[in-house]
Amino acid sequence: MRPTRISMINGLFHVTTRCDNKNFYFREDEDFTEYLKIVERARKKYGFKLHAYCLTSNHVHLLLSTPVEDNLSKLMQYINGMYARIYNRRHKRTGHFWGERFYSTIVESENQLLSTIFYIELNMTRNGVTKHPKEWKWSSYNQHTKGKGPIEIDFHEIYMALGNTDKERRNKYITMMSDRIIQKGLLAKQPQVTYGLIFGSESFIKEIIGNHTNHRYYTNRKHFAVDETTFCLRKFKT
């Protein structure tokens, strides 16, 4: 079944794309760097902002916003289509590279931005590949904590508000991530962050629903509470 999707201008989206049959196609450094080059090309072409990412051996996480136009599907088709063609040509293979269509979750920036970034950057630590996110170079963690990485990211205004200087922001970020790991268990898998349609406060979910009247949402189990203030809409009728 094709995953349901809501797209809009000025949206903040957590996008997840998996390799076909969850195969481990990202093996060499060039596989990772080529993907990031295409992301950079797409950013210039479509005007989206990249706030966080993590590339793994068999799937990709991107946190991006669309300030220019409602073009999430277009930009992801560009990224995934171009990468699949280049990868297959370079590795002399045929067939699908990606599995089903990408998943996208609308994230409430005010309340859930940092939690979502932390979750994305902890991916390889959560899966036992690294002991600490700084050890995995194909994520935005070192960009947020050291200002260096294989691709430039667009620091979100909420991240920028963590301090008045780069050093203050980086130290605050490191402390907050450590605290969240202890307090909220971000080393546990949280399907609402990846597979939910909308992630945020109940009022935020209702606002998004109200702006998309061409969808009807299920009244039974339409969302589940993550904590006392955060909910995740699971699915829509279409």
Enclosing H/E stretch for 14? strand 12-18
Banded pLDDT at 236 (limits 50, 70, 90): very low
Roughly how many angstroms between the first and final C-alpha of the chain, as a whole number? 12
Domains of the chain, CATH where assigned: 12-237 (3.30.70.1290)
Hey, which residues does 64 pair with through a beta bridge? 13, 50
Give pLDDT tens digits for 131-178.
889 999 999 999 999 999 999 999 999 999 999 999 999 999 999 988
How does strand 103-107 pair with strand 198-200? Answer: parallel
Average pLDDT of the residues in 6-20: 91
Name the more confident of 1 and 70. Answer: 70
Cα–Cα–Cα angle for 25, 177, 115, rounded to 5 degrees: 70
pLDDT at 33 over 60: yes
- How far CA 67 is from CA of 64, 108, 214, in Å, comes to 10, 15, 22
Q: Strand, coil or helix: what is 11?
A: coil
Give pLDDT tens digits for 184-222.
555 555 555 555 677 777 777 777 777 765 554 443 344
Enclosing H/E stretch for 216? strand 216-217
DSSP string covering 72-124: HHHHHHHHHHHHHHHHHHHTT--S-SB-SPPEEEEE-HHHHHHHHHHHHHTHH
What integer best gives the mean pLDDT of the chain? 84
What is d(CA 15, CA 193) in angstroms, rounded to the nearest whole number? 10
What pLDDT score does 217 carry? 47
pTM of the predicted protein model: 0.85
pLDDT at 225 over 50: no
